[in-house]
């Protein structure tokens, strides 16, 4: 039958294949299929309940699915005021609109809400994004939190047993009271689930109002000294080591395929040309200009820039503020 896989009993579900190609999340791919944007072997399909193999010809909006590219991961310092989506119905600025145009088509590993900032992982591999989002992966997400109000360490320690807020059960949370600053407190928090607005809702239950939320680590990847709005690729060797064989196998990560060349790029609206990719060498991009800096000369420039710029440090010990308070 036209549009069916050449082998219905083998292969992978088509939404998974589209996600693994880095075009969209699996859920978004299923929405594309329902909208009639995906065709297999020349026939438009309407259901994601279809297995495909390497012999099948898949197109999205009439553009062939790109060949498998090397799995890549980027650290991004998300600023406040950006939403983690490709397109926002309310017209708010998005992280993907702020990213340099030279980057490949990326999807986020989880989200940070509009008023949150800090480390956000981006990848071209939907399988890797899904694997890293799962609580079963067990990676600790660490946050620096400033909140209005007062709390005791004893109350924070009780969060290690989990807490239920408005009928939602949150798993164990590690929380430390770092210091009091005026009417605020600074906390360090670690959690493994990352449910929607989890930190804000849990602290609100303790009588605290979060007014600054910074993610400083996601598993083995840290925000470090990455400038506000900057994005830096994790080297392939470092990524392979950080994932380990179990997570790499779960994500079906590919560390051997070539990097993307100039191939069509899909978006939530229509397709357009993809900008050339970069080498997996840990190069750093600047969102403001889209200029790529790498190598000894760039490192020297970075050092000189840091000497010239006298950034005001956050006296609480947190990351540098992105704007005056």
Q: Cβ of 291: how many Cβ atoms within 10 Å?
A: 12
Rounded to whole angstroms, how far apart are CA atoms 185 and 208?
9
Q: What CATH number should be reported for the domain holding residue 216? A: 3.30.2350.10
Q: What is the mean pLDDT of residues 261-283?
A: 38
pTM of the model: 0.71
More confident residue, 193 or 286: 193
Residue 108 has pLDDT above 50, yes or no: yes
Reference 23, options 130, 128, 126; nearest CA is 126
Q: What is the mean pLDDT of residues 231-249?
A: 95
Catalytic residue among 61, 88, 113, 178: 113
Tell me if 112 sits within 8 A of 216, measured CB to CB: no
Helices 126-133 and 236-251: angle between axes, nearest 10 degrees: 80
pLDDT band per the 50, 70, 90 thresholds, residue 10 = low
Q: Give the containing element (helix H, strand E) for 198.
A: helix 198-205
User: Does residue 323 lie within any of the structural domains?
Assistant: no
Residue 3 has pLDDT above 50, yes or no: no
Residues shown for the chain: 325
Q: Cβ of 151: how many Cβ atoms within 10 Å?
A: 17
Q: Please state the separation of Cα 294 from the chain's center in Å.
A: 22
Tell me if 110 sits within 8 A of 302, measured CB to CB: no
The tokens describing 298, both together, are 């760039």
pLDDT band per the 50, 70, 90 thresholds, residue 155 = very high
Q: Determine the pLDDT at residue 38.
A: 95
Percentage, residues of the chain above pLDDT 90: 55
Domain with 168 in it:
75-222
Instruction: Judge residue 246's burial from the number of C-beta atoms within 10 Å of its C-beta, 0-12 exposed, 13-18 middle, 19 or more buried.
Output: exposed
Active site residue 56: no
Q: Give the residue from 205, 222, 239 where a domain finishes.
A: 222
Q: Determine the pLDDT at residue 238.
A: 96
Rounded to whole angstroms, how far apart are CA atoms 97 and 10?
38
The pairing of strands 73-78 and 51-52 is unpaired
pLDDT band per the 50, 70, 90 thresholds, residue 313 = very low
Q: How many domains does the chain have?
A: 2
pLDDT band per the 50, 70, 90 thresholds, residue 209 = very high
Q: What CATH number should be reported for the domain holding residue 60? A: 3.10.290.10
Q: What is the mean pLDDT of residues 63-79?
A: 90
pLDDT band per the 50, 70, 90 thresholds, residue 292 = very low
- What residues does 265 pair with on adjacent strands? 272
Exposure class string for 56-69: b at 16+ Cβ within 10 A, else e: bebbbeebebbebb
pLDDT band per the 50, 70, 90 thresholds, residue 280 = very low
Question: Is residue 56 domain-shared with residue 94, that is, in the same domain?
Answer: no
């Amino acid at each position: 039958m036209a549009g069916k896989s050449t082998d219905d009993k083998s292969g992978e579900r088509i939404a998974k294949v589209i996600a693994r190609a880095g075009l969209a999340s699996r859920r978004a791919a299923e929405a594309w299929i329902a909208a009639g944007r995906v065709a297999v072997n020349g026939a438009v399909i309407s259901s994601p309940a279809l297995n495909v193999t390497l012999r099948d010809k898949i197109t999205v909006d009439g553009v062939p699915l790109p060949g498998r590219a090397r799995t890549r991961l980027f650290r991004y310092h998300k600023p406040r005021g950006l939403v983690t989506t490709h397109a926002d119905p309310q017209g708010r600025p998005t992280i993907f609109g702020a990213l340099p145009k030279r980057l490949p088509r990326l999807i986020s590993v989880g989200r940070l809400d509009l008023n949150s900032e800090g480390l956000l992982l981006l990848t071209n591999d939907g399988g890797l994004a899904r694997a890293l989002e799962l609580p079963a992966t067990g990676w600790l997400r660490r946050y620096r939190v400033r909140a209005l109000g007062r709390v005791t360490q004893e109350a924070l320690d009780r969060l290690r047993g989990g807490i239920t807020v408005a009928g939602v059960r949150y798993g164990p949370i590690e929380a430390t009271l770092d210091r009091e600053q005026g009417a605020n407190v600074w906390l360090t928090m670690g959690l493994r689930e990352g449910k929607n607005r989890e930190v804000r809702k849990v602290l609100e239950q303790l009588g605290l109002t979060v007014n600054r939320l910074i993610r400083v680590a996601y598993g083995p990847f840290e925000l470090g000294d990455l400038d506000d709005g900057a994005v830096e690729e994790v080297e392939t060797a470092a990524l392979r080591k950080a994932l380990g064989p179990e997570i790499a196998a779960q994500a079906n990560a590919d560390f051997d395929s070539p990097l993307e060349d100039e191939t069509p790029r899909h978006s939530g609206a229509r397709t357009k040309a993809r900008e050339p990719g970069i080498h997996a060498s840990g190069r750093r991009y600047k969102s403001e200009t889209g200029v790529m800096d790498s190598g000894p000369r760039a490192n020297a420039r970075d050092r000189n820039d840091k000497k010239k710029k006298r950034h005001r440090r956050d006296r609480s010990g947190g990351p540098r503020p992105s704007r005056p308070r």
